[in-house]
Structure 1
Amino acid sequence: MTQPDSASTGRDGHVRSLYAATMHAAPDRPALVGHHHVDVCVVGAGFTGISSALHLIEQGFRVAVLEAQRVGFGASGRNGGQIVNSYSRDMDMIEARFGETSARALGDMAFEGNRIIRERIEQYGIQCDLKEGNLFAACNDKQLAALKHHKTLWEKYGHKTLELLEDDAYRREIGSERYSGALLDHSGGHLHPLNLVMGQAAAFESLGGVIFEHSPMTRLEHGERVKIHTDGGVIEADRAVIAGNAYLGDIVPELADRSMPCGTQVIATEVLDEATAKRILPTDRAVEDSNYLLDYYRLSGERRLIYGGGVTYGGRDPASIEGAIRPKLLKTFPELENIRIDYAWSGNFLLTLNRLPQFGRLNHNVYYAQGYSGHGVTASHLAGRLVGEIIRGDSTRFDAFADIRHLPFPGGRRFAVPFSAMGAWYYALRDRLGM
């Protein structure tokens, strides 16, 4: 379920972006009208909601999905398209704060979302420009040392597909002088995210699932059977899954208090000639740097450079997206000074105070998954599998996340924006000074 944001939308109901311009044809699904009965109602048709719905219908449940806008309207259809393993906080922090048991449980699942994505693509023949490999680039020697630690840590949890590129070795992957080295994850990758969620939605519908678009939830009525109300009707279900993430709004106050929408901005260039594309990203991997307010970029299927970065707290857009992101692009690739920017868009992700995903129960038959804090492409697909497991009757892995304590932002969302912005300014200053 999504709520409208400030981004302009095209005739198809999606924000104007490269992804919307190149997405596969999709039906305009009807709004909910009348009273419907299902086993499970999923609220939200992004990665979390569609992944949950697909896992559930594969297990034989009757499932309906409610979406306020269009399938993939929110972060799932606007993100950088990078398949990055693990979570926004790494395992040493999880172990230090929540103990060895939690770290081992989450560590065992840290690379599963990646595998689920690939399984879905193969199983359902989803065409989404899947490409192999992603890089973490170090902007200074301190960040390179941190990447060495990162490699050791991931290998402790069984992830053995990492290659450290020290000194100039990274130049075989990135045609920029900006970095001190990089860590290559051969199991990572990148893709067209909107086509990925659209492909999974089509798979869900092919198995008998129903998606109602243009149907924002207006009220959640708890009981032995949960009732999800919209302006046009009601879905009554044995269980419900709340998967609206940064676009849920305040309709579920107990979720809103422990999270904050944050905006990120992306631009896409004109189509690059083969020589230029080969020069800047010789092996066609995705890249993100190691700064606190990181930059991320990759080549699209048609050889456009997709470049994103920065965070706006509270989900607000800058005055000019191109004005905010183009200087970052040119710092990395100054030779692209005269390149044309064809697309510029923004989208919100949901930030939690400890930067870990929030999974849990509102009561005995209403579950939620949200708050991936910038690592949602893989973690949301893991969430869908765990939702399927708990509704089937096995809560072990879901509860490994649900048992993690999540505190509200100090002062609630009203004060979370300035406090978080101050913290981001501090860490950005450390990045600039190489501290």
Structure 2
Amino acid sequence: MAEAPLATEYYRATSPGVGYPALEGTIDAAVCVIGGGFAGLSTALALAERGASDIVVLEAHSVGHGASGRNGGFVFGGFSLGERSIIDTVGEEDARKLYHMTLAAVERIRSRIHQYGIECELREEGVYLVNWFDDERILERQARFMADKLGVQWQRVSRAQLAEKIASERYFGALFEPDAFHFHPLKYAQGLARVLVAKGVRVFEGSKVAQIAADGALWRIATAGGQVCARDVVVCCGGYIDKLYPRLGGAVLPIATYVMVTEPLGDRLQGAMRTGAAVYDTRFAFDYYRPLADTRLLWGGRISILERSSAAVARLLYGDMLKVYPQLAGARVDYAWSGMMSYARHKMPQLGRLPDGIWYGMGFGGHGVAPTTLAGEVLAAAIMGGGAGAGADEELARFTHWGLPSTGGPAGLLAAQLAYWYYDLRDWMRQ
């Protein structure tokens, strides 16, 4: 295996973006959204689609810089917190409503791609949940649970049927989610930004927020080059919030995950995958991967509190890939990277409004594409106030149960790493 180029991301290399100016001077706005990832962009677009105007988006780096532009590109329902745990927490009825909110978000993403003509390598070929363990009961229980408890029908795929699509002896059947899809996430984020600008939203890159301060009935959001005076402010900073707003920053853990992309495989890809679907498996620390349009294979996995070098990520994930597809031995890895996601201690999205009036949407790590879009809809409806009706408050209230518990700082990071090792060991022993 060739060493991967250091600090090179496939998504950025294939879509560098158009670029937006940095904020200079003082400007006024009705709503200032901090963060140019999926949550921030989706909130701004949901506001604009509802008729709001005078919206500003501030991004510290470039649109899609964080997890939104570096993730696996899977678009499907659910949250990082498992569905059974959600039912245990809020009951079956509310859990079903929450899950179907994510399914509605999947359809909203699909609709926006088509409505706005966003070129993002959309592949509407579904997602396989493949069984890593030689135990048919795992898939049977999951399919029955999804149907009976959540009203969702996933297609059962036998081991023989799966072998027609995936040439690996590692798996023991699958469940297929036909309405799920995958795409180039950075191109989608950049497409959202272009739509926003066309709708009159002001987008600023290279505009890291240094301070958020109340000023009478307004908020002053200061960057190195200027400031925004806004009626409402929405913080959507994810794993890169740092110390911007301690009440929020202390409620998320920045957790790293790893991704690599092979060289174009040509016909060799058909020797491993004869499907355009994306794939993940039934372990706690699962692999996730998908074929790209140019016959490359994008492969992600592992969770850590540490970012690693490009070469180190490539070595780890290359070994993981060969456990599933030994026939790809010798394939070159062209790109590899790590990046930080924001996890809440409870693994649910954190949506709401602080007592001081600041809105927030964060904590989407591990399963964020649909939930970030959901967050934008929920936050926009709540910000629009009375015109959105009582339903807006009800939807936002569905997330307040989990709240903003402190993650414990360095001790919380260590606990998260230990938990990952524990579940990884449990999967190994089960195997």
TM-score by length of 1: 0.91
The 3 A distance-change label for structure 1 pair 434 and 172 is same
Partner residue in 2 for 1:252: 245
Structure 1 alignment gaps of length 5 or more:
1-7, 10-14
Matched, 1:309 2:309: no
Partner residue in 2 for 1:12: none
Partner residue in 2 for 1:115: 107
Quote the offset at 1:170 in angstroms: 1.6
The 3 A distance-change label for structure 1 pair 418 and 318 is farther
Q: Do the aligned residues in 2 keep the contact of 1:138 with 1:290 (CA within 8 Å)? A: yes
The one-letter code matched in structure 1 to 2:89 is R
Matched, 1:270 2:266: no
Matched, 1:432 2:428: yes
Quote the offset at 1:272 in angstroms: 1.3
Quote the offset at 1:323 in angstroms: 1.3
Quote the offset at 1:314 in angstroms: 5.1
Whole-Å separation in 1 of the counterparts to 2:296 and 2:324: 15
- Count of matched residue positions in the alignment of Structure 1 and Structure 2: 418
Q: Secondary structure at the match of 2:365?
A: coil
Whole-Å separation in 1 of the counterparts to 2:303 and 2:415: 14
Quote the offset at 1:184 in angstroms: 0.8
Partner residue in 2 for 1:232: 225
Q: Do the aligned residues in 1 keep the contact of 2:8 with 2:310 (CA within 8 Å)? A: no
Q: Do the aligned residues in 1 keep the contact of 2:146 with 2:153 (CA within 8 Å)? A: no
Matched, 1:261 2:254: yes
Partner residue in 2 for 1:53: 44
Please identify, of 367-376 and 151-160, the stretch whose mean Cα deviation from structure 2 is larger.
Answer: 151-160
Decide which of 56, 65, 76 is 1:84's aligned counterpart: 76
Whole-Å separation in 2 of the counterparts to 1:109 and 1:184: 20
Quote the offset at 1:111 in angstroms: 1.2
Partner residue in 1 for 2:56: 64
Decide which of 136, 139, 150 is 1:147's aligned counterpart: 139
Whole-Å separation in 2 of the counterparts to 1:156 and 1:236: 50
Please identify, of 352-361 and 186-195, the stretch whose mean Cα deviation from structure 2 is larger.
Answer: 352-361
Whole-Å separation in 1 of the counterparts to 2:358 and 2:114: 31
Decide which of 321, 334, 337 is 1:342's aligned counterpart: 334
Q: Secondary structure at the match of 1:258?
A: coil
Q: Secondary structure at the match of 1:227?
A: strand
Whole-Å separation in 2 of the counterparts to 1:200 and 1:155: 33
Partner residue in 2 for 1:420: 416
Q: Do the aligned residues in 1 keep the contact of 2:309 with 2:337 (CA within 8 Å)? A: no
Q: Secondary structure at the match of 1:173?
A: coil
Q: Secondary structure at the match of 2:209?
A: coil
Whole-Å separation in 2 of the counterparts to 1:299 and 1:318: 20
Decide which of 12, 19, 22 is 1:31's aligned counterpart: 22
Whole-Å separation in 1 of the counterparts to 2:179 and 2:340: 26
Whole-Å separation in 1 of the counterparts to 2:308 and 2:415: 15
Quote the offset at 1:169 in angstroms: 2.3
Please identify, of 395-404 and 424-433, the stretch whose mean Cα deviation from structure 2 is larger.
Answer: 395-404
Quote the offset at 1:270 in angstroms: 0.8
Quote the offset at 1:161 in angstroms: 4.5
1:270-305, CA deviations, whole angstroms, 9 ceiling, x for partnerless residues?
1111x3222322121100111111111111121100
Partner residue in 2 for 1:408: 406
Whole-Å separation in 2 of the counterparts to 1:83 and 1:227: 35
Q: Secondary structure at the match of 1:111?
A: helix
Q: Do the aligned residues in 2 keep the contact of 1:318 with 1:324 (CA within 8 Å)? A: no
Partner residue in 1 for 2:323: 331
1:193-241, CA deviations, whole angstroms, 9 ceiling, x for partnerless residues?
0001111110010111111110111011135211111111111111111
Q: Do the aligned residues in 1 keep the contact of 2:96 with 2:150 (CA within 8 Å)? A: no
The one-letter code matched in structure 1 to 2:235 is I
Quote the offset at 1:316 in angstroms: 5.5
Q: Do the aligned residues in 1 keep the contact of 2:310 with 2:335 (CA within 8 Å)? A: no
The one-letter code matched in structure 2 to 1:56 is L
Q: Do the aligned residues in 1 keep the contact of 2:346 with 2:402 (CA within 8 Å)? A: no
1:87-115, CA deviations, whole angstroms, 9 ceiling, x for partnerless residues?
11233211212334542431331312211
Partner residue in 1 for 2:397: 399
Q: Do the aligned residues in 1 keep the contact of 2:352 with 2:379 (CA within 8 Å)? A: no
Whole-Å separation in 1 of the counterparts to 2:31 and 2:164: 49
The one-letter code matched in structure 1 to 2:400 is A
Q: Do the aligned residues in 2 keep the contact of 1:129 with 1:301 (CA within 8 Å)? A: yes
Partner residue in 1 for 2:171: 179
Quote the offset at 1:348 in angstroms: 1.2
Partner residue in 2 for 1:197: 189
1:317-376, CA deviations, whole angstroms, 9 ceiling, x for partnerless residues?
587111111100111111111101111111111112221111111235321111123001
The 3 A distance-change label for structure 1 pair 294 and 378 is same
- Percent identity reads 33
The one-letter code matched in structure 1 to 2:394 is T
Matched, 1:133 2:129: no
TM-score by length of 2: 0.92
Whole-Å separation in 2 of the counterparts to 1:428 and 1:38: 47
RMSD: 1.9
Whole-Å separation in 1 of the counterparts to 2:151 and 2:109: 17
Whole-Å separation in 1 of the counterparts to 2:217 and 2:13: 44
Q: Do the aligned residues in 2 keep the contact of 1:271 with 1:302 (CA within 8 Å)? A: yes
Partner residue in 2 for 1:354: 346
The 3 A distance-change label for structure 1 pair 318 and 194 is closer
The one-letter code matched in structure 2 to 1:54 is L
Whole-Å separation in 2 of the counterparts to 1:232 and 1:98: 45
